[in-house]
Structure 1
Amino acid sequence: MKHKKHDEASSIAVIHSARSNQPLVAVSTDVCDLHGYRWSATPMQYLEAAVEGAGVFPVLVPSLGNRLDFDYLLGSVDGVIITGSASNVHPLLYGGDGSEANGPYDRARDSTTFPLIKTAIEKGIPLLTICRGLQEMNVALGGNLATEIHELPGILDHRAPVSDSRDQRFAIRQNITLKPDGLLSKILGTDLAKVNSVHRQSIDQLGAQLEVEAVAEDGTVEAVSVRRASAFALGVQWHPEYWVKSDEHSARIFQAFGDAVRVHADERMNAV
């Protein structure tokens, strides 16, 4: 019966891809308490970047963990975006300090994004992970994280500048060096770039399947890709979604992801 359900999902996705220039892309959500209700939600800036930067149709995935059929979901979409968030990956997932000082946490999100990431990689579904999403990808693939990195010797303060202006907090201000001939350097067409920086944590030990694509001036890992991935699989520590309409490098990341999504949609349609 399960196989029939998966076949139906694939058929629906193929019909959608054939009729639309906006293939479906699954987008992670945070658990939020608002107006007396508990919500699964994501900031609009990610959804707008998905539509306008990548040209895809974003579909929110509720943070319901193992109650969701991830195989079925990823038989119905042609890409996955794991967003940033104000919350952090729970340190118990990588043997770290789970005190509230390293929070806030969102265990429901963790239980949903980890299988989303691993299943997307296994199935060759294009994957873009941003900020917390990059950290989730690293932990899901066996790596760990350093917390409160601004307190570590020799490490720059990667947190957002203190300001009432969101544009100032997300300002492009940090230099990074890209791996020559890496996935990201090919996308951006350069080995040097400037990005924004809005994080307190970073990759410490790299996940076994990952490859470093870019580092900051202090050596902090700023981007990774999945080694020998069968589809686009990129994670960035910064926030290209914020400036996708005005910054060329931000736009190129979403364009490359959208192109990979459309290739996947076309391949699936042609396979039927």
Structure 2
Amino acid sequence: MKPLIGVSTYLEDSARWGTWDLPAALLPAAYPTLVRRAGGLAAMLPPDDPAAAAAVVARLDGLVIAGGPDVEPVRYGAEPHPRTGPPARERDAWELALIGAALASGTPLLGICRGMQLLNVAVGGTLVQHLDGHTATVVGTFGAHDVKPVPGTLYGSLVDEETTVPTQHHQSVDRLGDGLTVSAFASDGTVEAIELAPPHWALGVQWHPEMARDTRVMAALVRAAAERGGA
């Protein structure tokens, strides 16, 4: 059986499709598509009661924390920057609980963009609330820049060459959380990947692998999930 990979989602007050305009749990289709391309089965995880996170994670083989809005600065003891976006408190609470449950249970974890930032915050790190040069000039599109792996890291073992990646973020890791290692940098020194040492399989990437053809990062998560689940 293919590993079951949970992917966190948006929760929007209003979304339109067909004749409908209703509250909706949303996830760009590129996420489940990438999970499938990498050999897994995708399950959407909309915001829920954080107390349920451990029970949810116990049913998964792997977990992806998807991209999305800025993490509320109170989560890492900071005041909001003028350029920081409005809070998404339900997502913050739910996804931090999912991360905590994954780390406690040894469930393989991949954080994408916001998900990487939340991983850092979950283990005591902080964020740069605004930086330039990592978003596209056209709203609603992705930019691109190069990232360079750090040899000897998990990410470096998956992708050992400098690559060009799709990017869309204006925040980044500042102080690293406890136990984290930087495993990739952008050319301007911005932290682009972080990871926890074994026995954890926990990796965060600042870019959007779901928008690229390269499946190596997601495939590694799916392999780790299969090994853990005995698939």
Output the TM-score relative to the length of structure 2: 0.91
Q: CA deviation at 1:193?
A: 2.3
Q: Which structure has the larger Rg? A: 1
Contact 2:10 2:25 in 1 (8 A): yes
| Matching residue of 2:73 | 91
1:1-272 paired onto structure 2 within 5 Å:
20=1, 22-32=2-12, 33-35=14-16, 36-52=21-37, 54-66=38-50, 68-85=51-68, 87-98=69-80, 101-150=83-132, 157-162=133-138, 169-171=141-143, 173-190=144-161, 192-228=162-198, 230-244=199-213, 250-266=214-230
CA displacement 1:210-256 (0-9 Å, x = unmatched)? 1100111111100000123x242110000111113xxxxx3111111
Question: Aligned equivalents of 1:188 and 1:101: distance in 2?
Answer: 33
1:138 maps to a residue whose letter is N
Distance in 1 (alpha carbons) for counterparts of 2:171 and 2:42? 27
Structure 1 distance, partners of 2:186, 2:99, is: 25
Return structure 1 stretches of 4+ with deviation > 4 angstroms.
none
Offset of residue 187 of structure 1: 0.4
Q: Which has the higher strand share?
A: 2
Contact 1:231 1:260 in 2 (8 A): no
Structure 1 unaligned runs (5+)?
A: 1-19, 151-156, 245-249
Residues 96-144 of structure 1 show CA distances to partners (whole Å, capped at 9, x for unaligned) of 2236741132110001000111110111111111001001111111111
The two structures, once aligned, show a CA RMSD in angstroms of 1.8
Question: Contact 1:178 / 1:214 at 8 angstroms: preserved in 2?
Answer: yes
Q: Count residues with an aligned counterpart.
A: 226
**d(CA) in 2 for partners of 1:182, 1:227:** 9
Distance, in Å, in 2 between the alignment partners of 1:234 and 1:28 is 16
Q: Give identity over the alignment, percent.
A: 34
Shift of 1:158: 0.8
Flag the 1:99–1:193 CA change in 2: closer, same or farther, 3 A. closer
Are 1:215 and 1:221, in contact at CA under 8 Å, matched by a contact in 2? yes
Structure with bigger helix share is 1
Following the alignment from structure 1 to structure 2, what is the Cα–Cα distance between the partners of residues 101 and 251? Answer: 33
CA distance in 1, matches of 2:177, 2:222: 25
Q: For 1:207 and 1:117, locate their aligned partners in 2 and report how far apart those are by CA, in whole Å.
A: 13
Distance in 2 (alpha carbons) for counterparts of 1:82 and 1:194: 22
Q: Hey, what's the Cα distance between the residues in 1 that align with 2:160 and 2:81?
A: 42
SS of residue paired to 2:124: coil
